C-alpha cells in the first residue's frame, strides 16, 4: 500500500464495516516511508462527521477544518486546492461513502474528489464501504478481506491474553475472522475476565448482542457500524433490500448468484438490489456465490425479520429443486448435485427444515423432502431404495421435528 501511494498517488480501500479499512489507512499514514515523503503534511479527515449535512460546501469546510485553513473568497474550492498543493500532502478521506453513496450530491463531490486526485502534490487515501468512487481517477483499488486464522488469533490474544485452546479457534470461526468483531468480543472477555470457553458460551447465547456495548460508537459497536450501511441512501431507495438481506442471512452458505431471479421472483428490482448490497459491502461475491460475513449474517437475523412472501418463494424454489431430483435417475441426481447447480447440504438444510416444520406442507412435498434427505445422508449403496423411505416414516409415525433431529 505504501508503494501504491508513491507510484499511483491515489489509493481506494473498500470493504464491509469493521473490516479494517481505517486501521490500514492510519497505519499507512504513520508509516516511516510516508512520514519521510510528506512530513507533517499528512491529514486524516473523518467524512462521517458530515452526518446528514452532505453537500459540496460542507465537504470543503470539513477538509479545511482538518488542514487548519479558513476558507475565503467566492471560489472556495479553488482556494482550498491552491493551499493543499503548495507542498506534497497526503489526505485520508475516511468513510467516504458518506458522500459517495448520497445520490443528491454525488456529482458535485465526485467532481471535487476527481480534481483533488488529479492535482499535483495532492495524494489521496479513500476508505469507503461504497465502491462508487469517481471513475475518472486511476485508483489503486484494494478490497480489504477478513483476517487469516493466525492474524485473527494474534489480535484476539493481544486484547484478551487467555490460554490458547480449541474454544478460541471456534469463537474466531463463528466471528468469521472479522476484525472489529474480534476486537469487541476480546474487550468483553477482558473487561469481564471471562475464559475462552465462557466467552464462547456468551457468544452462543447472545450472538451479536454481545458486540453492542452501551457506550459504543462506530469503532466500538458492531450494530452502530452495520446500521450505517443498512441506512445508506442508495439502499433506502430500494424497499426490497432488507427483505433480500433477511433471506441471504437465512441461508448459511449464501446463494448461487445466477439463481437470484428464481429465488426472488416477486422482486422486480432484484438485480439492482444485489448490485447495491454489493456496492455498500453488505454482501460479498465469491466466484459464483453471494454470501454474508458471519457477524453480518447474525446481525441481520437478529435485526431484520423474515418476510413471509419471500420465504414462500424460497420454499417454492427448493420444492422445484427437489421435485427435479425426485424425477431424475440416480446418475442424473449426482450430475445435478455435483456441478454446483444447487446448494451444499449445509445450506439446504435450513430451508428444508422450515418446510418440514410448517403445518401446511402438502404430503407430496414431505415425500420428496424425506426421500431427498435420505439420498443426502445415507450411503450411496442404499440410495436406490429412497422412494420407499416416505412410507417407512409414515408407518412409524415419525414427526417432522424428530426427523430433523435424526438427520
Q: 331 and 401 share a domain?
A: yes
Looking at the fold, whether 47 and 125 belong to one and the same domain comes out as yes
Asked if residue 232 belongs to a domain, the reply is yes
Query: For position 297, which CATH number holds?
Result: 1.10.10
Digit-coded pLDDT (tens) for 225-235: 888 888 888 88
In the block, cell 412435498 appears at 365
Question: Is the domain of 325 the same as that of 382?
Answer: yes
Question: pLDDT of 364-398, one tens digit each?
Answer: 556 656 655 555 555 443 444 444 444 444 444 44
Same domain, 285 and 377: no
Do 129 and 18 fall into the same domain? yes
pLDDT at 404: 39
* Dist CA 52 CA 23 (whole Å): 24
Please tell me whether residues 54 and 110 are part of one structural domain: yes
Do 111 and 161 belong together in one domain? no
**Domain end point (choices 128, 143, 158):** 143
CA–CA dist 176, 181 (Å, integer): 9
Domain final residue, candidates 143, 165, 180: 143
- Domain-ending residue, one of 157, 180, 211: 211
Where in the sequence is the domain holding 66, given as residue range(s)? 2-143
**pTM, to two decimals:** 0.79
pLDDT per position as a tens digit, 47-80: 999 887 788 999 999 999 999 999 988 899 999 9
Assigned domain for 247 exists: yes
Count: domains in the chain? 4
Q: What is the mean pLDDT of the chain?
A: 81
Specify whether 203 is located in the same domain as 299. Answer: no
394/275 same-domain check: no
Q: Same structural domain for residues 32 and 104? A: yes
Amino acid at each position: 500500500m505504501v508503494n501504491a501511494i508513491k507510484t499511483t498517488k491515489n489509493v481506494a480501500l473498500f470493504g464491509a464495516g469493521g473490516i479494517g479499512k481505517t486501521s490500514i489507512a492510519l497505519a499507512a499514514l504513520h508509516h516511516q516511508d510516508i512520514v519521510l515523503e510528506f512530513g507533517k503534511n499528512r491529514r486524516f479527515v473523518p467524512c462521517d462527521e458530515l452526518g446528514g449535512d452532505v453537500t459540496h460546501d460542507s465537504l470543503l469546510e470539513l477538509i479545511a477544518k482538518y488542514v487548519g485553513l479558513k476558507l475565503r473568497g467566492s471560489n472556495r474550492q479553488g482556494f482550498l486546492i491552491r493551499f493543499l498543493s503548495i507542498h506534497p500532502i497526503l489526505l485520508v478521506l475516511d468513510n467516504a461513502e458518506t458522500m459517495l453513496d448520497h445520490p443528491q450530491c454525488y456529482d458535485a463531490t465526485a467532481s471535487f474528489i476527481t480534481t483533488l486526485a488529479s492535482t499535483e502534490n495532492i495524494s489521496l487515501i479513500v476508505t469507503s464501504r461504497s465502491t462508487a468512487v469517481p471513475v475518472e481517477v486511476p485508483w489503486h483499488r484494494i478490497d480489504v478481506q477478513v483476517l487469516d486464522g493466525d492474524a485473527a488469533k494474534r489480535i484476539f490474544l493481544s486484547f484478551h491474553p487467555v490460554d490458547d485452546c480449541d474454544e478460541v479457534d471456534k469463537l474466531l470461526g463463528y466471528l468469521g475472522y472479522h476484525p472489529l468483531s474480534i476486537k469487541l468480543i476480546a474487550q468483553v472477555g477482558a473487561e469481564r475476565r471471562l475464559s475462552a470457553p465462557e466467552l464462547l458460551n456468551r457468544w452462543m447465547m447472545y450472538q451479536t448482542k454481545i458486540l453492542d456495548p452501551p457506550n459504543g460508537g462506530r469503532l466500538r459497536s458492531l450494530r452502530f457500524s452495520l446500521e450505517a450501511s443498512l441506512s445508506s441512501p442508495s439502499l433506502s431507495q430500494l424497499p426490497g433490500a432488507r427483505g433480500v438481506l433477511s433471506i441471504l442471512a437465512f441461508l448459511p452458505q449464501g446463494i448461487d448468484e445466477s439463481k437470484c431471479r428464481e429465488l426472488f421472483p416477486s422482486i422486480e428490482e432484484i438485480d439492482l438490489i444485489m448490485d447495491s448490497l454489493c456496492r455498500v459491502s453488505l454482501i460479498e461475491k465469491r466466484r459464483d456465490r453471494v454470501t454474508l460475513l458471519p457477524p453480518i449474517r447474525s446481525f441481520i437475523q437478529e435485526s431484520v425479520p423474515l418476510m413471509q412472501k419471500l420465504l414462500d418463494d424460497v420454499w417454492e424454489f427448493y420444492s422445484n429443486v427437489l421435485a427435479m431430483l425426485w424425477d431424475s435417475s440416480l446418475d442424473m441426481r449426482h450430475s445435478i448435485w455435483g456441478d454446483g447447480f444447487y446448494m451444499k447440504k449445509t445450506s439446504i438444510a435450513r430451508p428444508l427444515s422450515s418446510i418440514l416444520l410448517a403445518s401446511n406442507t402438502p404430503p407430496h412435498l414431505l415425500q420428496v423432502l424425506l426421500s431427498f434427505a435420505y439420498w443426502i445422508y445415507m450411503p450411496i449403496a442404499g440410495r436406490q431404495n429412497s422412494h420407499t423411505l416416505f412410507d417407512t416414516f409414515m408407518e412409524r409415525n415419525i414427526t417432522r421435528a424428530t426427523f430433523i433431529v435424526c438427520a
